[in-house]
Each structure stands twice: as structure tokens, then as C-alpha cells.
Amino acid sequence: MAVRVQEEDFDVGAELARLTAGNKRIGGLTVFVGLVREMHVREGLHRDRIDALTLEHYPGMTERALEEIEAEAKRRWPLEATLIVHRHGRLAAGDRIVLVAVGSPHRGAAFQACEFLVDWLKTKAPFWKLEETPGGEKWVGAHDGDDAAAARWEQERR
């Protein structure tokens, strides 16, 4: 299993090279890199500028939760390699926040498993997010669209 929660930035190229090194069974590698965006749309109308985002978590608990969802992805799809690197601490707009990479013999499984992991991270991972905006600080959670994306994976499980 490859799960890390860290404050420091990561090098996407170096991470992918380590993940796939020597594994010739991987036919498809799907990668998602999440960034702190400067503008955030709420209810489709109002835009808030985000100057920074602070992520807090409980060490140990967070890693266990990420390992559990990674194991679920491996139960659902034939995966050769997985990687989740999630940052915490204060991040400025434009900074990398998360890397999810999934390698499989076939691209379809890699795409689906990566999307599953990202949807889960967005809605259920135990991180607390504090946005810094010109109007002040505010704690944020998952939005309705994020919840709907994650809910489809529950239905597919049945």
C-alpha cells in the first residue's frame, strides 16, 4: 500500500517513476493531481476568492482511513499499483494538494479506480478545510455535487 499524508510538496514525476518501477504488468496509469484553486463557486452563483486553504487531520486516523479506501479499490478492480499522497497544513492558491495514481493492466480499471478514490477523498477523507478569503476564514465541507458523485459508488457496491 502506498498512502502518505505530509506537509511538504511532492514531485509528481518522481512519485510516478517510483510507483511503476519494474512493474511491467501495468498497461494503464491514471493520475489525478488536485490543486488549491483561487476561485470557488458556491450554489453556481457566488464566487469567493481563496487566498489559502489550511487542512487539518488526526495523524494515524487519517492514514488508516486512506488505507481502507485504497484496499476497497483493490477489491473492486484488478490493480497493480496505487498511490495516494495528500498534503496538510497551509497551502496557497495554485499549490498541489493531492496526488492519486492508479496502475492496472487495463486502462478502464485504472480510470474507474482513480475516480472512485478521488470521489471518496473529496467527501469522506478525515480532513478539515479552512478557507482564507478576503471576507475572512470559513470551514468548508463537501458540496452536494461531491456527495452525489460519491453516492454512485455505494450503489455500484450493491
For 53-78, the pLDDT digits (tens) are: 999 999 999 999 999 999 999 999 99
Cβ contacts of 81 within 8 Å, gap of 6 or more: 2, 19, 20, 23, 26, 29, 101, 102, 103
For 111-149, the pLDDT digits (tens) are: 999 999 999 998 889 999 998 888 889 888 766 676 676
pLDDT attached to residue 47: 63
What share of the chain in percent tops pLDDT 90? 69
Q: Is the pLDDT of residue 26 over 80?
A: yes
Residue 67 CB burial class (10 angstroms; 0-12, 13-18, ≥19):
middle
pLDDT attached to residue 43: 54
Range of the domain at 124: 3-157
* pTM of the predicted structure, to 2 decimals: 0.89
Compute the average pLDDT of residues 90-114: 96
**Total number of domains constituting the chain:** 1
Q: At 43, which CATH number?
A: 3.90.1170.40
pLDDT attached to residue 156: 66
Among 8-17, 90-99, 146-155, name the one with the lowest average pLDDT.
Answer: 146-155
Report helix, strand or coil for 69. helix
How far apart CA 102 and CA 121 sit, in angstroms, is: 14
